[in-house]
Amino acid sequence: MAHRSAESSAGDRFINRDGCIVGVTFLPRSGARPAVVAIRTKVASGKYKATGISVENVDFREAYERAVHVFADMHEIDRSDPVRKRLLATRESFMIKYGLTTRTVCYEQVVRL
């Protein structure tokens, strides 16, 4: 049996066969609740942690990146760890799994001077 590196194993345990992060899902808008990238994961202490990152009125790439960093922080994955880069690379698989597409939206915002 081939031996896998610790780095490979560490990253693999966070990624499903479909290429998405385990415990990171998309919840569409429902009533007053905005659409979110939801995170629910079991951390080293054995407890579950959960949160959501809104994807409404924000750049989806930034929102997904933020969700990945929150997930990685929950698992105490160092910012320089290559596993974070692998987790960030799951965005396309996530969008395919949930049938999401992006579009560029430009608008003027009213501000009071």
Instruction: Indicate the average pLDDT of the chain.
Output: 90
Tens digit of each residue's pLDDT (9 = 90 or more) over 34-48:
999 999 999 999 999
Question: What is the share, in percent, of the chain residues with pLDDT greater than 70?
Answer: 91
* pLDDT of residue 30 exceeding 60: yes
The more confidently predicted of residues 102 and 8 is 102
Other Cβ atoms within 10 Å of 84 Cβ, number: 19
Mean pLDDT of 40-69: 95
- Token digits for 42? 């079991």
**CA–CA dist 14, 76 (Å, integer):** 13
Domain segments of the chain as ranges:
18-97
pLDDT tens column, 72-99: 999 999 999 999 999 999 999 999 999 9
